Structure 1
Amino acid sequence: MADLLSIIGARIRALRKERGWSQEKLAELADLNASYVGKIERGEKNTTFRSLEKVSGALDISMLELFRYMEPVENVSDKDTFAKIINMLQSSSDEERKKVLQLLQLITNWNK
């Protein structure tokens, strides 16, 4: 459960940052406490469905969009880090993603 909470939190954080908002701004728009939003983003709080509805409404996205790309990742030892990487890439442009891919290819082929 903790992995899923971290993944959801990372997704919310990425969407918030994509808009250039602080946690306080998201909390205000979602009618939630700012510290509660922080705990959700860090995966520390097992939030309610109603709070997620408020967050998705504040972000002006559907619940489907909020949970897009939220499938559990198998065979990854550090799922939190992997989720953060995915969320960072989701909020990047196609050109930025291509550059990241090229960089990863260089790094992984470094010692071959």
Structure 2
Amino acid sequence: MENTKALLGARIREIRKARGLTQEQLAEMIDVEQKHVSRIESGKNYPSIDLLEKMAAALKVPLMGFFDFMHMQDVDESAVNLEKMLLELDRDSRKIAYRLIRATIKVLKDI
């Protein structure tokens, strides 16, 4: 359950940021305090169905759009797999792999 709460919160945050809104702006739009939005996005609280409907309307997304976690879970699984592969290497090889990954990430951020 905790994982679902965290995924839901992360998905809401992702959509809010994609819309260029701050937590405070979203909170005003749905008539709650910014702190409440923060708790939801951090996975500490579940929003009520009524609040989810208000968020969906404010963010112009279908209600089910909040539950599209698949791409988020894939990223988490990739990170776990990468960690496993790194741990299988000896120390020197791990250092080389780390440098390569770091350089690749830097290039990807610049694209």
Same structural fold, with TM-score higher than 0.5 when normalized by the shorter chain: yes
Segments of 5+ residues of structure 1 without an aligned counterpart are 75-80, 86-105, 108-112
SS at match of 2:46: coil
Matched to 2:76, the amino acid is: F
Alignment size in residue pairs: 82
Provide the alpha-carbon RMSD of the alignment: 3.0
Partner of 2:76: 82
Segments of 5+ residues of structure 2 without an aligned counterpart are 80-99, 102-111
Shift, 1:70, TM fit? 5.2
Larger Rg: 2
TM-score w.r.t. the length of structure 2 is 0.61
- Which of structure 1's runs of 4+ aligned residues deviate more than 6 A? none
TM-score w.r.t. the length of structure 1 is 0.61
- Write 1 or 2 for the structure with the bigger share of helix: 2
Deviations 1:44-86 (A, max 9, x none): 1122111111111110111122222359959xxxxxx829x9x
Give yes or no for contact 1:39–1:45 (8 Å, CA) kept in 2: yes
| Distance in 1, Cα, partners of 2:72 & 2:49 | 19
